[in-house]
């Protein structure tokens, strides 16, 4: 998306051409790959580290806080702040106690992930699927937001006027994908904690 936006803003419109030379096609593929890697890294920093973990609160802590969150962000992101049921939380804590784990937040997440993925390949596969889903949504949300920002900037300071409806469309897609990202990000942690809670009881030797 970033490559397409830059192509449009610079007036080249290479992507819209009916035919491309091998050199131009190869250049676009390489550029798309590099930009994709940069967007993936930046989206992880901005959306996952800053927005989610620092501002909203990590998914594990949110889920373990109960069904009814008191966070001021709960009205804006109600699905993300819908925690686990009290019975499920109790099972998670009981499982952790049996395993001698007295952690919370990201530390509890790390413990649960190590135990669950070691115990079940099927669970690990399911978690990988959810991770790919929230990673894709996160990257698309950030890419469309950046594209919208670039269009607005070009319209304000550039030599020509740009149709700002493209920026509006980009923001709309970005917001939708942000909510989808939070949905899968929460579902990932929820799946992990529920599978951890239902692991077989450790045998006492």
Q: How does pLDDT run along the chain (205 residues), one tens digit per residue?
A: 666 665 555 555 555 565 667 777 787 788 888 888 999 999 999 999 999 999 999 999 999 998 888 889 999 999 999 999 999 999 999 999 988 888 788 889 999 999 999 998 999 999 999 999 999 999 999 999 998 888 888 878 877 777 788 889 999 999 999 999 999 999 999 999 999 999 887 655 4
- Looking at the chain, the number of H-run helices and the number of E-run strands are 7, 0
Q: Where are the alpha helices (DSSP H) in 18-85?
A: 22-43, 59-64
Question: What is the reported pTM?
Answer: 0.86
Contact (Cβ atoms closer than 8 angstroms) between residue 35 and residue 47 = no
What are the φ/ψ torsions at residue 127 (nearest 5 degrees)?
A: -65, -40
């Amino acid at each position: 998306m970033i490559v397409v936006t830059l192509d449009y803003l610079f007036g080249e419109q290479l992507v819209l051409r009916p035919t491309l030379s091998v050199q131009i096609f190869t250049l676009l593929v390489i550029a798309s790959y590099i930009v994709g890697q940069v967007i993936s890294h930046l989206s992880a920093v901005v959306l996952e580290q800053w927005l989610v973990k620092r501002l909203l609160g990590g998914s594990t802590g949110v889920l373990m806080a109960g069904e009814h969150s008191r966070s001021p962000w709960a009205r804006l992101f109600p699905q993300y702040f819908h925690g686990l049921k009290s019975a499920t939380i109790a099972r998670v804590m009981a499982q952790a106690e049996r395993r001698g784990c007295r952690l919370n937040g990201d530390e509890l997440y790390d413990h649960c992930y190590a135990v669950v993925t070691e115990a079940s390949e099927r669970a690990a596969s399911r978690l990988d699927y959810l991770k790919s889903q929230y990673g894709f949504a996160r990257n698309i949300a950030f890419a469309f937001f950046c594209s919208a920002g670039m269009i607005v900037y070009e319209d304000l300071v550039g030599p020509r006027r740009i149709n700002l409806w493209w920026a509006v469309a980009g923001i709309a897609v970005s917001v939708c994908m942000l909510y989808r990202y939070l949905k899968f990000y929460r579902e990932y942690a929820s799946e992990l904690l529920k599978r951890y809670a239902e692991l077989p009881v450790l045998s006492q030797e």
